Structure 1
Amino acid sequence: MTVARLLRGGAAAALIALALTGTAGAQDGARWDQLPVAALQQAAQSGSAEAQYALAMRYHNGREVLQNFAQAAELLQAAADQGQAAAQNRLGQYYFAGIGTPRDAALALKWLAAAAASGDAQFIYDYAAALENGADGTADSTRAAEFYAKAAELGLDDAIVSLGVLYQHGHGVEQDLGRARELYQGPASRGHARALNNLGLLYVRGDGVAQDYERAVGLFTKAAEQGLAVAMTNLAVMYENGFGVEMNEPLAVELYRKGGRGGDTGAGPQPVYDPRLAEPDTSEEGLRQMTQAARAGDPVAQFQMAWLLLNRQPAQFQDLQAAAGLLRQAAEAGLAPAMANLGLLYFDGRGVPQDYALGHMWLILAGTAGMSDAISISSELAARMTPEQISEAQQMAAQKTALK
């Protein structure tokens, strides 16, 4: 492995990732967010664009309702048609990613542009990202640079860094490594992970600055500490080759693993425990009582037995199969942590055949059953899925709920 294989951070997946999360710009309407679902539904039916957007985000996040991107899209459309900028922005993201709607590049750009016209820095950035990444099949780096610059003037660090990337590579603007470095420095000084990583690359390559491996290592380290996968990989290259740091192959291997290279990344969510439950009693008598309760159909005992099996080191295949069976029984009984962990097993294909749709379904149901961690986990893992798989999972969750 050589320095030539260092990677740069970019915004290529940012818009799709944002479409799956709950973040938005300045027009969220905090007062609407505090209302009960029933009140929101009444206000939305009465035509309030703010209520329609707030209710859409409830469906988007699966908060107090079953997660349903298609239902969210309908509400976003209603609010967007009335000029609600946050709804326009989110609807554009949906069309860009094909989430809740068929993928439609032209409509994605239309709604993202409408939201950007509101002057919100985040919405301007999102529109620029779509332009840069070719939502219509043809990237428009020149216009992307124009809108990144507008958002950068409003102080948005993500936009400043993305504009720096364009200057670094001469996309949409004349290449200017000095300008790229200047743009990275401000956000990097504020701890922005992608800025730190990209500034590190300039020092590795000696692009517009004197080559300085030690400084690059320091920048990659700060970015990696924030969980930026590409920075972990870049730092691994430095340790593997002894660039600016003492050679350390075991550490390089670990960094590659965390950064997503070298087989099993180990970066996926680990089994989760519900803090509302007491820790399982692992004494001889405690295990005997737990086993007896699990056989009698106690879902908490079934979950706790499965938890112990999942955390055996190393867990054998028969342990995983037994854990999956116990979790399925507890999940069918409505226990949220059992649903969440069964979903994780399906995502990873541990003890059960790998099935992203089934995994996502169980995580959706866990979130609706009150386990908030399941919502964030499902959003993270949804990045592995196609829009069709996500839609299938949400439909299965709705059907399962309707049968109860």
Structure 2
Amino acid sequence: MRGLSALLQVLLLCLASTALSQESELSLENLLEQAEADPAAAHQLGLRYHAGQGVLQNYTTAAAWFEKAASQGFAPAQNMLARYLFEGFGGDADRARALTLFRKAAQSGTPQFLFDLAKVLETDPETAPRAAELYQQASDAGMIDAQVSLGVLYQEGIGVKKDLAIARRLYEPAAEAGHARAQNNLGLLYVRGEGVAQDYERAAALFQAAAEQRLARAMTNLGVLYENGFGVPVDEERAAELYRMGGNQRAVSEGQNAAGPRIAYDARLQPPDLTEEGLETLKKAAAAGDPVALFQMGWLQTGANDTISGDMRAAARLFRAAAERGHPTAMRNLAVLYLDGLGVPQDYVLGHMWLLLAEKGGDPGSVALRVEIAEVMTSGQINEAQRRAADKPKD
């Protein structure tokens, strides 16, 4: 169930942004005026709070607006609320009600809603055949993800009779279109000679294409080919590199830090003056509480320059002081220290909280990092981070 939960969470994190890009004409004030009576506006307002667009991201508030729109039969809100309830975002999980809402939303025939319902149903042998039907409907409507998921059911014999030839036919156009999961799965069929003639060279090309899209399983599979010389020349160094890359990608997906420090410098600022006189001036400004000076001293304490020996505990203190004074890049860097456990105890909740505040403060690099880390956090952790961000005193 964790695999399903993780997949739905990734979808939840990504798809609302797409919806927002398509329906963002109305201002926040206009949405607030219309949301009480218009379910589409209420849903749109929920998406704003879900994505943190123009507001501090808050799933509890988003859930309330999705609930309002869903109660009026608005299918997109029913589907989003179902995802929230399935994961426990913005409140307690209620998977029974989530399934009811998934079913209601799917009645609209929207391919994404059919797909989301199928992802839930395929985990139960009794409902897996219905999942296959839903994937087929979504696939017929042109949804590649559904086509690939249907291929997996045929490959594994889940809800349908196992048929590797059908699985191959489903994977091939998706792989040709650049779908990483289809490329990897089709590559495995060629490696094993299942449903196709065994072809290691073809498998290697497919794994390579998927690996270039950072699919960890494909990196590992390609590493096996290089280690054994199947379809590619024997290259143990390349194999080891791929194993490391695949392992790092898995580590990120399992909540482990594999990327190392991700400290950023504020691009709006000139580099600090590293002369003896310049450093003395910078230290005095930091001691006086200047947020820019605090930030720059924190950045230097991370070992960013050989002039000052790195001290992550000192960096954390300085970044925190700058962050408390409203410096967004300091907030982001403090978040990184919490996420990586550098100079402070590792704490994803505090890290996520500071990323939310940095994003609200206008730091451009915080969004991608927040989305990345949210994928490996529990719904309870995200809810708590959002609560703390909302409760943070405003200057």
The two structures have a TM-score, normalised by structure 1, of: 0.87
Q: Partner letter of residue 324 of structure 1?
A: A
For 2:237, the equivalent position in structure 1 comes to: 250
Indicate if the aligned counterparts of 2:223 and 2:238 stay in contact, CA closer than 8 A: yes
Name the CA distance, whole Å, in 2 between partners of 1:109 and 1:74. 18
1:274-320 CA-partner distances (Å, limit 9, x unpaired): 43334445566654544443333222232233334435499x99522
SS across alignment from 2:342? coil
Structure 1 residues 78 and 372, CA, compared in 2 at 3 Å: closer, same or farther? farther
Aligned partners of 1:25 and 1:86 also within 8 Å: no
Q: Which residue of 2 aligns with 1:4?
A: none
Matched residue, 1:115: 105
The residue number in structure 2 matching 1:70 is: 60
CA distance in structure 1 between the aligned counterparts of 2:191 and 2:338, rounded to whole angstroms: 41
Query: One-letter code of the match for 2:140?
Result: E
Does residue 3 of structure 2 align to residue 13 of structure 1? no
1:334 and 2:326 aligned: yes
Q: What's 1:234 paired with?
A: 221
Contact 2:282–2:297 (8 Å) recurs in 1: yes
More deviation, 272-281/101-110: 272-281
Q: How many residues align?
A: 387
User: Shift in Å at residue 96 of structure 1?
Assistant: 1.2
Structure 2 match to 1:130: 120
**Secondary structure class of the residue paired with 2:392:** helix
In the TM superposition, residue 350 of structure 1 has moved relative to its aligned partner by 1.1
SS in 1 for 2:365: helix
2:180 equivalent to 1:188:
no
- Does structure 1 retain, via aligned residues, the 8 Å contact 2:332–2:366? yes
Distance in 1 between residues matched to 2:211 and 2:96, nearest whole Å: 36
The aligned amino acid for 1:38 is E
1:75 Cα deviation after fit: 0.5
8 Å Cα contact 1:166-1:172 kept in structure 2: yes
Kindly indicate whether structure 1 or structure 2 has the higher relative contact order, using CA contacts under 8 Å at least 6 residues apart.
1
- 8 Å CA contact 1:40–1:52 kept in 2: the answer is yes
Provide the residue aligned with 2:380 in structure 1. Answer: 388
Instruction: Check the 8 A contact 2:16/2:50 in 1, yes or no.
Output: no
Kept in 2, the 8 Å contact 1:236–1:256? The answer is: yes
Q: Is the 8 A contact 1:229 1:260 kept in 2?
A: yes
Residue 71 of structure 2 corresponds to: 81
Distance 2:83 2:212 in 1: 29
8 Å CA contact 2:114, 2:134 repeated in 1: yes
List aligned pairs for 1:162-241, cutoff 5 A.
162-241=149-228
- Higher mean Cα deviation, 116-125 or 141-150? 116-125
CA deviations on 1:208-232 (whole Å, 9 max, x unpaired) are 1122222211111111111112212
Of the three residues 32, 57, 60, the one matched with 1:41 is: 32
Q: Which residue of 2 aligns with 1:5?
A: none
Q: SS at the partner of 1:223?
A: helix
Tell me the secondary structure at the aligned position of residue 260 of structure 1: helix
RMSD: 2.7
Amino acid at match of 2:190: Y
Q: Check the 8 A contact 1:363/1:378 in 2, yes or no.
A: yes
Deviation larger for 255-264 or 76-85 = 255-264
Change (3 A) 1:313 1:300: closer
Out of 53, 56, 60, the position equivalent to 2:46 is: 56
Matched residues, percent identical? 51
How far has the Cα of 1:244 moved from its partner? Answer: 2.2
In structure 1, list runs of 5 or more residues that go unmatched.
Answer: 1-9
Q: Distance in 1 between matches of 2:226 and 2:211?
A: 13
Alignment-mate amino acid for residue 8 of structure 2: L
Identify the residue that residue 267 of structure 2 maps to in structure 1: 275
Structure 2 unpaired stretches of 5+: none
Deviates more, 1:54-63 or 1:369-378: 369-378
Secondary structure at 1:331 match in 2? helix
Name the CA shift for 1:248/1:67 in 2 (closer, same or farther; >3 Å).
Answer: same
Cα distance in 1, alignment partners of residues 195 and 292 from structure 2: 60
Q: CA deviation at 1:38?
A: 2.2
Against the structure 1 CA distance between its residues 325 and 111, is the aligned structure 2 distance closer, same or farther, given a 3 Å change threshold? same
TM-score (norm 2): 0.89
CA contact (8 A) 1:259 1:265 kept: no
Equivalence for 1:296: 288
Change (3 A) 1:115 1:213: same
Tell me which amino acid in the other structure corresponds to 1:91. Answer: L
Q: Is the 8 A contact 2:16 2:51 kept in 1?
A: no
**Gap change, CA 1:98 and 1:269, over 3 Å in 2:** farther
1:25-36 matches, cutoff 5 A: 30-31=22-23, 33-36=24-27
Note if contact 2:183-2:206 (Cα within 8 Å) is conserved in structure 1: yes
Q: Which residue of 2 aligns with 1:101?
A: 91
**CA separation in 2, counterparts of 1:354 and 1:360?**
11
